[in-house]
Structure 1
Amino acid sequence: MQTYFHVFIKECRLNAGFSKIKSARLLNVSERSLSDYESGKTAVDDALAVKMAQIYNCPAIIYCWTQDNACGRLWLSKLDDKCLSQNILCNFSSIETMQNEFLPKLIRIGQDNKIDEQERNIFIKIKEHGLKPLMKSTIALLFSKNKKSRPAKASQL
């Protein structure tokens, strides 16, 4: 069963400004089914995840859905909950670090088309401190959430 995805899709629906009734109609599911998806009682399938991402205008749904299955948990890192401008700055910083600190070393390692024993530790450092952060920041930028501020609930005032 999916671990946190159900909470995320409910938040995406609310951020999009849709009621359960409207969302259920647009997704072509019953309100009961939507409630079951949002409570985690029923797992969302591929097609519905894609449809939710399109209707809610939130491509992060696809990433989070993928992240919430066995393959995704193994290979994909959790994305930070940042807005678009923060993701742009993080990505720019990762690109700059990769370009200035690691790219010259990576080029030297790759010149002979193999990684020898002397280069192995350097390559591991480049992967961990250059390539992985760059990939994470790029994916975060690609899947930036479309967040809207919602008015505070009366209980929060």
Structure 2
Amino acid sequence: MRKYYGDIYKKARIDAGLTQDQAEGMLGVPIRTLSAYENGKLLPHGELVCKMIEVYGAKWLWYMHLKENDPVGKRFLPDVRLGRLSSNVLRLQKEMADVTKINPTVVEVACDDEISEHEKNEWGSVHKEISELMGACAALLVAN
């Protein structure tokens, strides 16, 4: 049996101050099924995750659902550090400043529409900084 990352659904419910019994009624899901989601034995479908987000007030849940349980999300979504709004804003500001610093490199490498062999290391640094910026943007978007 495939194991899923179920702690995120449990955390969202607990953060909302709900018991499994309460969530069962609000989500229209049997408690046994809800427990299987929270224990990583079953993966909730997208529509149910949307309902969990609404019921639990957990805007971050969509991102973590995709990042932890979807193969495309695991591979391509940047890591996010979910934190307080103020720390998310400060991180975004820092990452924007870092990208501004590498802008000359971005322009230099991209101006000929090719990444040559000697530019690959530089482009790797660009890729890292942009990924960190995307993670900071995503963290701010999903902050409660």
Could you tell me which runs of 5 or more consecutive residues in structure 1 were left unpaired when the two chains were aligned: 147-157
Aligned positions, number: 142
Cross-structure match for 1:61: 61
* Deviation at residue 118 of structure 1 after TM alignment: 3.8
Structure 1 residues 78, 98: closer, same or farther in 2, change over 3 A? closer
Structure 1 residues 124, 40: closer, same or farther in 2, change over 3 A? closer
> C-alpha separation between the residues in 2 aligned to 1:69 and 1:87?
24
1:1-157 equivalence runs, <5 A = 1-4=2-5, 6-67=6-67, 68-99=69-100, 101-128=101-128, 130-144=129-143, 146=144
Letter in structure 1 aligned against 2:24: A
Could you tell me which runs of 5 or more consecutive residues in structure 2 were left unpaired when the two chains were aligned: none
* Deviation at residue 29 of structure 1 after TM alignment: 1.1
Give the superposed CA RMSD: 1.8
Letter in structure 1 aligned against 2:119: E
* Deviation at residue 15 of structure 1 after TM alignment: 0.9
Structure 1 residues 77, 113: closer, same or farther in 2, change over 3 A? closer
Q: Percent identity?
A: 26
Structure 1 residues 42, 120: closer, same or farther in 2, change over 3 A? closer
Deviations 1:87-133, CA, capped at 9 Å, x for gaps: 1111110001111x1112212222333333443332222112x2111
Structure 1 residues 109, 89: closer, same or farther in 2, change over 3 A? same
Match of 2:29, SS state, is: coil
> C-alpha separation between the residues in 1 aligned to 2:138 and 2:3?
21
Q: What TM-score do the two structures reach when normalised by structure 1?
A: 0.79
Deviations 1:36-66, CA, capped at 9 Å, x for gaps: 2212232211111111112212121111111
> C-alpha separation between the residues in 1 aligned to 2:4 and 2:86?
28
Structure 1 residues 2, 83: closer, same or farther in 2, change over 3 A? farther
**Contact preservation (8 Å) 1:2, 1:69:** no
Q: What TM-score do the two structures reach when normalised by structure 2?
A: 0.86
> C-alpha separation between the residues in 2 aligned to 1:133 and 1:65?
19
